[in-house]
Amino acid sequence: MAATSVPQLVAYAQGVGYASYRGLATAGPSLFAWGLSTGSPFMSCGVTSITALMAKADLDGESYVAEYGEEEYVKLVAAYSIWVGLCSAALGVLGFGKLAGMVPSNVRKGFKWGCAVGVVASAMPNGLFSGGSKELKKIVASSAAGNIVSFVKSNAPAATGAVSVTNLLYAITHPWEWGTAAAPLFIFCTIFVMKGKNYLPKSLPPGTEVIIATALATLLSMSFDYPGNVVGEIPQLDSDAGIKLGPIRIPVEFMNPKELLAAPVVERFGGSYVTLIITASLFAAVNFLSIMGIASGFEAENGVAWSAPRELVAQGVACGVAGLTGSAPVSGSMSRSLVSRMAGTTSQMSCMFTALLWIYMMPYMTVMSPTPQAALAAVIMSAVIKSVVNPKDLMAMKGTDFIVGWGTGIGTAVTSPTIGFGIGLLLVAVTSLFKPKQKTD
């Protein structure tokens, strides 16, 4: 699991909006904390495409990085992770875990599709353009679509998704602007990751196709002076840094508590602690839907019982540790959990062992410095593009379910995940007024 997850860790860091190497540098501690607190022998956690998207959208990451730089943004994300962790733990203690199962399926399905659109909009620029999202933004700004972007930013600043979707539509419809090296590599890697497993030996673990695609792209970059964006330099931890337990040193770097306290998280939510707590709680609640889905699947297929309050508290613990190490909030990862089950794990020790592997192997990860970001974007794209293009669950809906499902999905795509989820719940309340009441004898 440690090996197959590495490309995902690097790719999802791009989704958050900070340097790719940070995905590797911060993944271990939160997974170790998850292993200590979860009750599932199979479930794994980490930054996912959805948590990356939500964190970036809630904090308006792009504008913050543009104004204050990446280092300050990392502090902001880390502080927000701690808030999400605190809210997760509080919801667990208050018994929210049982209520999470009551979220209507039409809202969950629409929300999932809307988030998937956001993930595509975030990954596509890094795949198709040599200079990534920065290059695309410059091109869009000088075109007619730039007027739409300017209008949205001026009149509906909360609709950050609308800007991303506009950029996405422009990118798709202007192939002559694509990078001559980045775009073909991106398309090839996406197809290989999606279809390659059909041609590989069945004995290989899930995710092998991801490793192969990433390795081939890295070799290509090293051999032919690849002109597009790459992962870049991976800083090494100071030899004296980390935690010392007797003769053992764990090479983990924690954030400065004073800097985390000073991070302007509240200011990003209009200076209101109430708004911050509500948003972080919604983040925690939406996050838990992924964990609930994974745990319920393992219960049905493997008879592994689970406790909603415990897993929600475990989410809080993992997010808190993620924040202390400079990571975005984490959640249950379906792909990593399935690999863990396939490997025959029988306890939470698998998570902790994997976490230690990531931590101690970090000094050797410089091998990924020349990895093209187009290949990493393909890893993300391959996981969501099919559900975006062909949303079978939404297409099958009828009546008020159709309105709620698509309304939630579109709302999530053009605003933000948090606002979109709220739109979905509002639509449920409104449409329920028009449903015919069932007759009772």
Burial of residue 339 (number of CB atoms within 10 Å: 0-12, 13-18, 19+) = buried
The terminus-to-terminus CA distance of the chain in angstroms comes to: 56
CA torsion through residues 44, 46, 49, 51, sign: positive
**Residue 434 clears pLDDT 70, i.e. is over it:** yes
Which of 136-145, 185-194, 221-230, 342-351 has the lowest average pLDDT? Answer: 342-351
Q: How many CB atoms lie within 10 A of CB 162?
A: 18
Average pLDDT, the chain: 87
DSSP category for residue 372:
B
pTM of the model: 0.80
Which pLDDT belongs to residue 74? 95
113-121 mean pLDDT: 89
pLDDT band at 102 (very low <50, low <70, confident <90, very high): confident
The proportion of the chain whose per-residue pLDDT surpasses 70, expressed as a percent, equals 94
Which pLDDT belongs to residue 341? 78
CA angle 20, 24, 26 (to 5 degrees): 105
3-state secondary structure 18-42: CCCHHHHHCHHHHHHHHHHHCCCCC
Which pLDDT belongs to residue 242? 64
> Tokens for 269?
């939510």
Give the model confidence (pLDDT) of 172-228 as tens digits.
999 999 999 999 999 999 999 899 888 888 888 777 888 899 999 999 999 988 999
